[in-house]
Amino acid sequence: MSAVFYRKPPDIESVRRSRLQLSDFSGGMSGRLHENILPQRYASESYNFEFKDGALKAMRGITAFCPGGDTPASVTGETVLRVYHYRRFDRDTMQPDDRLAVYTQSKKLYGMSAIAPSVPVLLSEEFETPPRAVNYRLSGEDVLVLSGGGYTAVWDGKNALEHVPGAPDITSMCVHYERIFASGGGDRSAVWFSDDLDVTNWNVSLDEAGFLELADDGGGLVRVVHFLDYVYVFRSYGIARLTAYAEQTQFALTRLYTATGRIYPDTIAVCGDRIMFLAADGLYSFNGVTVSRAAKNLDGILQPESGNPCACAHSGEYALAARLKFKTGYPGEEGAKNNALVLYNPSDGRTEVLRGADISGLLAYLQESGSELLLSLRGKSKVYRLGGRGSIDGQQMHMLWRTPRTNLGRPDAVKSVKQLYMGLSGGCTVNVSGEVCGAKAQIQGSGGPVRRRLRARGTEFWLEFCSTDPDIEISRPELVTEYI
């Protein structure tokens, strides 16, 4: 009789089961720490998902801006680069008559209504660079002052643009105590100011217009901002404060801050009780006296030197269009200067990232009836707004959340993933990766908990949640694993 050999089954008590809740999705994307040591509430990469309540949902998208109807504001045959808001009140009809000024890639400036469908009207071909613009009340009439490329003009909404002779080469401007204060000039070393009550008068004298020189190592003047009853002068490597209340002989400049990295002028924006700006070494917040770092989780992700960053503030958020460093590709992103829009909330530090739009300009469009964040997209002839959900100009957004790597608290054990639990509404694809083998599953949910068997193996795991469903909602994902 032949002998029968058999292998003793492993002791059932030696097989351990572990259950890990992977994320509450509250941290957002972080590049500050290596993904191997990131807490699970952060993402090593995330875009087009919002997570303000701890669950993943589709972000606000980008759709055409249609003033007063269903017709998009656009300039046929042109590429819109910048949009400006002209706040105008018609004193003949006693009704608001807001306008949009639109600057295109062909160096033309068009005007159109901001509150009703209209045909764009060519205003100027004189601006060699995208102009700066401020609203002003001149001789009792609302006007828009525009300046760029050595050309300054005033638009009253009725007549052709009126050229302003003698104005300096303005690179930025703001209104303070009925004067326009501007940065500009050939070497960008002076703060210029117009005559009191007359922004068309730039004659330099003790009782008309004038300028103040800043001759030190702070770099050229890049932006002037009216904030907290002062004019703050941003330079390439610093910030100064201009006190300008009474006669110009009493104007005074005080140096406040020296930066370690170059400040990007188009990212400077007043955001509630602070000024936000992007420098070469990250985002900063300025309260009028001191400067502090902001959104440190974007360190290592922001690449301002590779793009053309610009920003504005809207509804308590700082909106920054810039180039970000991603590990994954995105359809149609090749050649984009700015590949993402960062929405940063200074009150709670939350940052969300919209990917898939090459934004060339941002505008906070404020009206009595509400506000909009308006955008211009490179290569597009329309004016856009941040709105809708889950799509960019009619194209579905690709959403991604990738968790950090985790060893489940047992770096020495090879583990097997058995099941995934999560709350799910809508459809998504889940990728579970391990260094031995991974698993992929397409899952559909109706709002309740779902369970899916998965087979992945390794000492470390990471998950990717991918979706194009505008109604997606994902919450409380948990992995069940076994190890010996």
Q: Tell me which H or E stretch contains 429.
A: strand 415-434
Give counts: helices (H), strands (E), the chain.
0, 43
Largest CA distance in the chain: 121
Q: Which of 61, 73, 78 is nearest to 380 (CA)?
A: 78
Helix, strand, coil share (%) of the chain residues, nearest 5: 5, 55, 45
Where on the phi/psi map is residue 388: left (φ > 0), alpha (ψ -120 to 50), or beta?
left
What domains, with CATH codes, occur in the chain? 12-58+400-483 (2.60.120), 60-396 (2.130.10.10)
Which pLDDT score is estimated for 11? 53
Per-residue DSSP letter, 435: S
Over residues 453-464, the pLDDT tens digits come to 988 998 888 899
- Cβ contact 420:92 at 8 Å: no
- Whole-number Å distance between alpha carbons of 121 and 399: 39
Q: Which residues contact 404 (CB under 8 A, 6 or more apart)?
A: 35, 36, 37, 38, 39, 40, 42, 43, 44, 462
- Cβ contact 244:177 at 8 Å: yes
Which pLDDT score is estimated for 13? 54
Interstrand relation of 28-29 and 42-43 (parallel, antiparallel or unpaired): parallel
Per-residue DSSP letter, 86: E
Instruction: Go through 144-181 and write b for each residue having 16 or more CB atoms within 10 A of its CB, e for each that does not.
Output: bbbbbeebbbbbbbeeebeebeebbbbbbbbbbeebbb
Here the tokens at position 259 are 């930066």
Burial class for 420, CB neighbours closer than 10 Å (0-12, 13-18, 19+)? buried
Where on the phi/psi map is residue 219: left (φ > 0), alpha (ψ -120 to 50), or beta?
left
Please report, for residues 26, 36, 145, 201, 356, the alpha-carbon distance to residue 81 in angstroms, rounded to integers and kept in the order given.
35, 41, 18, 29, 17
- Cβ contact 48:355 at 8 Å: yes
Long-range contacts of 34-38 (CB under 8 A, 24+ apart): 35/404, 35/405, 35/462, 36/404, 36/405, 36/460, 37/404, 38/404
Over residues 273-329, the pLDDT tens digits come to 999 999 999 999 999 999 999 999 999 899 999 999 999 999 999 999 999 999 999
Torsion of CA 456, 457, 462, 463, to 10 degrees: 10
Which pLDDT score is estimated for 1? 42
In this structure, the chain runs to a length of 484
Question: Alpha-carbon Rg of the chain, whole angstroms?
Answer: 27
Which pLDDT score is estimated for 167? 92
- Cβ contact 319:268 at 8 Å: no
- Cβ contact 373:321 at 8 Å: no
φ and ψ of 298, to 5 deg: -90, -5
Whose tokens are 């201009």? That residue is: 242
User: Which residues of the chain, if any, have pLDDT below 70?
Assistant: 1-13, 484
- Whole-number Å distance between alpha carbons of 410 and 421: 21
Q: Which residues contact 229 (CB under 8 A, 6 or more apart)?
A: none
Please report, for residues 23, 51, 350, the alpha-carbon distance to residue 28 in angstroms, rounded to integers and kept in the order given.
10, 7, 7
- Whole-number Å distance between alpha carbons of 64 and 259: 38
Which pLDDT score is estimated for 9? 55
- Whole-number Å distance between alpha carbons of 43 and 39: 9
- Cβ contact 284:294 at 8 Å: yes
Here the tokens at position 469 are 């469903």
Here the tokens at position 364 are 């906070």
- Cβ contact 48:398 at 8 Å: yes
Amino acid 310 reads C
